[in-house]
Amino acid sequence: MGSERECQLPLPVIDFSDENLKPGTDTWVSTCGVVRSALEDHGGFLVLYNKVDLLLHDSVFSAMEQLFDLSLQTKMQHTTDKPIYSYAGQRPSIPLYESMAIDNPLNAKDCHKYTTTMWPQGNNRFSESVNSYAKKVAELDYIVKRMVFESYGLDNKKCESLLESTDYILRCYKYRTPQVGETNLGVHPHTDSGFLTILNQRLSGLEIQLKDGEWFQVDASPSMFAVLAGDAFMVWSNDRIRGCVHRVFMNSKVDRYSLGLLSYASKVMEPEEIFVDDEHPLRYKPFDHYGYLRFFDTEEAVKSASRIKAYCVEWIQFNM
Ligand SMILES: O=C(O)CCC(=O)C(=O)O
Ligand SMILES: [Fe+2]
């Protein structure tokens, strides 16, 4: 990784398949720096990662096709008590978009439970491929977080404790092709409400906004993953890390599928002390991630300029 050619791209592409990328090596240390700068500058970066082999890639994406082929009534079933959308879609401003969330996909039993809600007769192939895929992508999530902690000189124990209080969701996205006269916007520009999102797309369409405001189109490939910081990462870093603004356009004549592993803090989280000093005063109150998700669709949140600021910052102004 970190070859000069890679670093010259507006958004770094980091090779996580490199055998030399082990903690303690020079490659590891320099990659930690690239990861940190990309998160501070753009809120994200791209990763080449070969732990999801082609067989698993194909099987998880065909599982997604099967999932979205179910009836709307089946797809809209309530599958989690967390304040996330089990199903999102049928929205007039983004008519192409549908998404479904599998709660706790790293756990085989929870994958099985989700699967039997969707297919009461069972579908082992679905639950097994989802579980294997999520576990492989979670390994990438752990490495990225470990690198971030290390690059700021934070103890690995702190990182472990963050990982222990992390909930994962596998979100599956489908975009149908636009009909004549319909918008080809898949999703409006936004930041994700989670901590970190790791996306893989089967067709291109994902665009990331760089710090200069330009849009960067992410190529689709089974081994190319986009790593995006969400709102909770901004809170944790007291705004040192930027939330990654991204959007999707449907440019193809076939349906587009993508998959995101999203992480959420299961315990109240505070900005790390090292990010708070006289020059960088505390910007966020202790953060209840699920409280934020419940706030997310309220009228107050929707009309605010920034949902995360509306949820956290105003509280500080009135209570300190
Ligand atoms: O489809 C994608 O690649 C990304 C979708 C997305 O950003 C979202 O729904 O939050
Ligand atoms: Fe997103």
Is 253:184 a contact under the CB 8 Å cutoff?
Answer: no
Residue whose CA lies nearest to ligand 1 atom number 9: 187
What is the sign, positive or negative, of the torsion defined by CA atoms of 284, 290, 296, 301? negative
| The two three-digit tokens of residue 18, written as one number | 């490199």
Mind listing the pLDDT tens digit for each residue in 295-308? 999 999 999 999 99
Average pLDDT, the chain: 94
Q: CB under 6 Å to ligand 1: residues?
A: 99, 173, 187, 192, 199, 201, 206, 246, 248, 258
ipTM over 0.90: yes
Domain boundary assignment for the chain: 13-313
pLDDT for res 28: 96
DSSP 137-194: HHHHHHHHHHHHHHHTT--HHHHHHHHHTEEEEEEEEEEPPPPTT---EEEEEE--SS
Q: What is the mean pLDDT of residues 131-151?
A: 98
Contacts of 303 (CB under 8 A, 6+ apart): none
Mind listing the pLDDT tens digit for each residue in 88-129? 999 999 999 999 999 999 999 999 999 999 999 999 999 999
CATH for 13-313, among 3.30.70.940, 2.60.120.330, 2.60.120.10, 3.40.50.410?
2.60.120.330
Ligand nearest to the CA of 226: 1
Is 282:274 a contact under the CB 8 Å cutoff?
Answer: no
pLDDT at 38 over 90: yes
Instruction: Give the residue, out of 68, 93, 187, 207, with the most ligand 1 atoms within 8 A of its beta carbon, to mutate for a pocket test.
Output: 187
Ligand 2 center to 165 CA (angstroms):
22
**SS (HEC) of 200-222:** EECCCCEEEECCCCCEEECCCCC
pTM, 2 dp: 0.95
pLDDT at 2 over 70: no
DSSP 29-92: HHHHHHHHHHHHHTSEEEEE--SS-HHHHHHHHHHHHHHHHS-HHHHTS---SSSS-SEEEEET
Local confidence band at 315 (pLDDT 50, 70, 90 cut-offs): low
